[in-house]
Amino acid sequence: MEPRYVVILAAGMGTRMKSDVHKVLHKICGRTMVEHVLTQVSQVQPEKIITVVGHDAQDVKKTLGDRTEYADQPEQLGTGHAVLQTAPLLADKEGVTLVVSGDTPLLTAATLNKLLQYHTEKGAKATILTAEAPDPTGYGRIVRNDLGIVERIVEQKDASHEEAAIQEINTGVYCFDNQALFAALKQVTNDNAQGEYYLTDVIAIMRKAGGIIAAYRMKNFEESMGVNDRVALAAATKVMQQRINHDFMMNGVSMIGPATTYIDVGVQIGQDTIIEPGVQIQGQTTIGRHCVVGAHSLLVDATIEDNVHITSSTIEQATMHRGSDIGPNSHLRPKADIGEDVHIGNFCEVKNATLGARTKLGHLSYVGDATLGSDINVGCGVVFVNYDGVKKWHTTVGDKAFIGSNSNIVAPVEIADHSFIAAGSTITKDIAYHAMGIARARQVNKSDFWDKLPLSKSSEWK
């Protein structure tokens, strides 16, 4: 195989996005567009990947890190000019150079490999990836001669009436014989409607020099979609979402409403798990087998083991071990670690806390900065009072403890195994093994109550 090189164009301003964020840094299913492109091009075994950066170069470099080399294009004078900026890193190389845009996030490595293979088979100097567009507006058009041979590419703004009617478009993806590419780039001028140095002009230049120009027409236009504005961003997101959901379903995950199920790239879900409508699963989330993720749940960087049942809840940077359940309307915040077969019911919040196996937290409770053992019953409305206004404090509760409803556990305290807290207590001191803590005002029943009321009132109530 000839050595392969990749150039990603990502210097342009992206004016049509109307954004403070660089165009290629907008995200689709949890990943920036340019990262999608980089992931795919990395799979064609390139010797080198060079990303051309200009506008917001620092932001792009920060996102991609050392997964690519960079060429700077301080002034954006066109796509041809952009590729020319890679000359110091690339011009002396022999091999094939694949050029892609940072704003075509749906392209797949499978298509790129087919393009490269076609290029080699044809012995071409350049091969353009083309597609038949239902509406070609805005794209460069592929101009072929009577024999069907590609002559040149004409941009929308330079196209004649007849040329504008051509539906075969330039996807902005090409492979070139590297030496022929740099020879042709030197001859590109900016004599056109936009006053730019077009990469597309190298096609006519190479053709005139007698080189073979090939076009690989892909069947799926969608895949070549260039994202220039927010409407296209939403359209591309929908396609990516369908791909992701399709793959999960083919691998044994049930989706009741895939059209409203939003899952990021990189999420993992096990077989026989059911995902209900309106669910969002983001970041580095992994979900085991035989789980149910109920409608309108949000999972961010969550770790969910097998047989977990989630009902309309939010889980972020937290772990639920096998057989546990939560919801509806509960919230696991960072570093919540929910043990096997734990039950968390309605309107509970857990943060930076560990709950041991089979512990129950049925209703309306807050557990923050605590370590709870196993088989504990936490009554309704229990609050772990972890913050004194300055510092967060930690509480420990031992196995098989019983915490009565509406108790406040004021940290730091240690509640030993098998201890019991009477309902309504405000606990500020440690409780020993098997002891009961009760901390509430004693009830007083006053029988002379009525006699002390003003006459009028007392007769009314009696």
Cα distance between residue 254 and residue 304, in whole Å: 16
Those residues whose C-beta lies under 8 Å from the C-beta of residue 330, and which sit 6 or more positions away, are 313, 314, 344, 345, 346, 347, 348, 349, 350
Residue 160 burial (10 A CB sphere; 0-12, 13-18, 19+): exposed
Nearest to 70 by CA among 34, 45, 109: 34
- Rg of the chain over CA atoms, in angstroms? 32
11 annotated as belonging to a binding site for a ligand: yes
- Contact with ligand UD1 (CB under 6 A): which of 35, 103, 276, 349? 103
CB of 226 to Ca ion, least distance (A): 4
- Contact with ligand UD1 (CB under 6 A): which of 25, 29, 71, 82? 82
Question: Residue 172: which region, alpha, beta or left (left: phi > 0; alpha: psi -120 to 50)?
Answer: left
Those residues whose C-beta lies under 8 Å from the C-beta of residue 127, and which sit 6 or more positions away, are 115, 118, 119, 174, 175, 213, 214, 215, 216
Which residue, 46 or 226, is less far from ligand UD1 as judged by CB?
226
CB of 293 to ligand UD1, least distance (A): 36
CB of 191 to ligand UD1, least distance (A): 13
377 annotated as belonging to a binding site for a ligand: yes
Residues that bind Ca ion (CB under 5 A): 103, 226, 228
Which residue, 116 or 129, is less far from ligand UD1 as judged by CB?
129
- Roughly how many angstroms between the first and final C-alpha of the chain, as a whole number? 100
15 annotated as belonging to a binding site for a ligand: no
Transcribe 272-322 into DSSP letters.
T-EE-TT-EEESS-EE-SS-EE-TT-EEES-EE-TT-EE-S-EEES-EE-T
Helices in 2-50 by DSSP H: which ranges?
33-41
In this structure, the number of other CB atoms found within 10 A of the CB of residue 232 comes to 17
Task: Quote the tokens at residue 153.
Answer: 């590419």
363 is catalytic: yes
Out of Ca ion, ligand UD1, none, which partner does residue 9 contact, by CB within 5 to 8 A per kind? ligand UD1
Out of Ca ion, ligand UD1, none, which partner does residue 78 contact, by CB within 5 to 8 A per kind? ligand UD1
Which residue minimizes CB distance to ligand UD1? 140
375 annotated as belonging to a binding site for a ligand: no
Is residue 221 helix, strand or coil? helix
Transcribe 136-198 into DSSP letters.
-TTSPEEEE-TTS-EEEEE-GGG--HHHHT--EEEEEEEEEEHHHHHHHHTT----STT----
Those residues whose C-beta lies under 8 Å from the C-beta of residue 449, and which sit 6 or more positions away, are none
- Contact with ligand UD1 (CB under 6 A): which of 73, 86, 261, 395? 73
Q: Which stretch binds ligand UD1 (CB under 6 A): 77-85, 120-128, 309-317, 442-450?
A: 77-85
- Contact with ligand UD1 (CB under 6 A): which of 101, 285, 307, 395? 101
Which residue, 155 or 276, is less far from ligand UD1 as judged by CB?
155
Q: Which of 290, 343, 363, 394 is catalytic?
A: 363
Please report whether residue 139 would count as binding ligand UD1 according to CB under 6 A: yes
346 annotated as belonging to a binding site for a ligand: no
Please calculate the CA angle 384-385-386 and round it to the nearest 5 degrees: 100
Please report whether residue 32 would count as binding ligand UD1 according to CB under 6 A: no
Out of ligand UD1, Ca ion, none, which partner does residue 171 contact, by CB within 5 to 8 A per kind? ligand UD1
- Contact with ligand UD1 (CB under 6 A): which of 199, 214, 253, 291? 199
Identity of the residue numbered 175: C
79 annotated as belonging to a binding site for a ligand: yes
Please report whether residue 9 would count as binding ligand UD1 according to CB under 6 A: yes
Q: Which stretch binds ligand UD1 (CB under 6 A): 98-106, 249-257, 306-314, 410-418?
A: 98-106
386 annotated as belonging to a binding site for a ligand: yes
How are the residues of the chain apportioned to helix, strand and coil, as percentages rounded to the nearest 5?
Answer: 25, 30, 45
- Contact with ligand UD1 (CB under 6 A): which of 30, 46, 105, 140? 140
404 annotated as belonging to a binding site for a ligand: no
Which residue, 25 or 357, is less far from Ca ion as judged by CB?
25
118 annotated as belonging to a binding site for a ligand: no
Pairing of strands 298-300, 280-282: parallel
Return the active site residues.
363
Give the residue numbers of the binding site for acetyl-CoA: 386-387, 405, 423, 440
Give the residue numbers of the binding site: 9-12, 23, 73, 78-79, 101-103, 140, 155, 170, 228, 333, 351, 366, 377, 386-387, 405, 423, 440
Give the residue numbers of the binding site for UDP-N-acetyl-alpha-D-glucosamine: 9-12, 23, 73, 78-79, 101-103, 140, 155, 170, 228, 333, 351, 366, 377
Residues in the site for ligand UD1, rule: CB under 6 A? 9-12, 52, 73, 76-79, 81-82, 101-103, 139-140, 153, 155, 169-172, 198-200, 226, 228
